[in-house]
Structure 1
Amino acid sequence: MTTPDPWDVISALAARFNAADAARGMPPEESQVLQILKIGEEFGEAAQAVIGAKGTNLRKGRSHSWEDVHDEVCDVIITGMVALARMRPDAAAYFAGQLDLKAGRFLPAPGEGGD
């Protein structure tokens, strides 16, 4: 089985959500705002999973595993990627450029070492 390019999947998800929102009469700008808010919701679920994995909620105890945390972090990433794809047709290229920019700030240039 061939693994699809993640951005192809993200673009398909974005197109599906855009079509569903358009069918409901929702303007694109409103869809984008709500998608960004969805990132916050997913982050909250990741935070809740961390609290549950650490057992710091006395009422619930250890309610989550670290695998749950990993799943929720993936949800945050996917939701963020979909948000970017819903805002920008060039999401994959824009993301690659931003990744290069951030890496340039925090990682040593090739040959510089950094140990």
Structure 2
Amino acid sequence: MNTAPWETIGRLAELFTSLDTARGIPAEQQWTLQVLKIAEEVGESAQAVIGAWATNPRKGQSHTWQHVQEEVADTAITSLVTLHRMLGDEAPAFFEALLTQKAATFLALGDPASAPPLEGV
């Protein structure tokens, strides 16, 4: 596993945690605020999609699909920073294990051999 992205995520998480701690914000409140930051990033992704499709008559085409991609990447980065702030150095292993579990579940949906039998057939 390439650990370089997780090293950067860890450094960001440590920075944000130290800044919040210096402001007197307790750990669980920091986590809560960080999860809200994920929601903010998702909203910005949605706003970019609306702008790319030009569905807001007041703004027209205000974004490109590259903007959407950047906002989705911001959402992913913010999510991984949040996970690292909650779990510390255990975040990469936790993420990899959960990704493996979810992938096995969803990829099995595309494999007809692993589909559950139809009842009553």
Q: Larger helix proportion, structure 1 or 2?
A: 2
Q: C-alpha separation between the residues in 2 aligned to 1:44 and 1:103?
A: 26
Q: Which consecutive segments of 4 or more residues in structure 1 shift more than 6 A?
A: none
SS at match of 1:26: coil
The alpha carbon displacement at 1:113 in A equals 8.2
TM-score by length of 2: 0.85
Whether 2:13 is the aligned partner of 1:14: answer yes
Segments of structure 1 that go 5 or more residues without pairing to the other structure are none
Equivalence for 2:105: 105
Whether 2:37 is the aligned partner of 1:38: answer yes
- C-alpha change, 1:62 and 1:84, in structure 2 (3 Å) is same
Amino acid at match of 2:98: Q
- C-alpha change, 1:68 and 1:59, in structure 2 (3 Å) is same
Segments of structure 2 that go 5 or more residues without pairing to the other structure are 115-121
TM-score by length of 1: 0.90
Q: CA RMSD in A?
A: 2.0
Amino acid at match of 2:37: K
Equivalence for 2:118: none
Q: C-alpha separation between the residues in 2 aligned to 1:32 and 1:94?
A: 17
Q: Give % identity.
A: 50
Greater Rg over alpha carbons, structure? 2
Q: How does 1:1-115 map to 2 (within 5 A)?
A: 5-89=4-88, 90-108=90-108
The number of aligned residues is 111
The CA deviation string for residues 39-65 of structure 1, in whole angstroms up to 9 with x for no partner, is 000000000000000000001000000
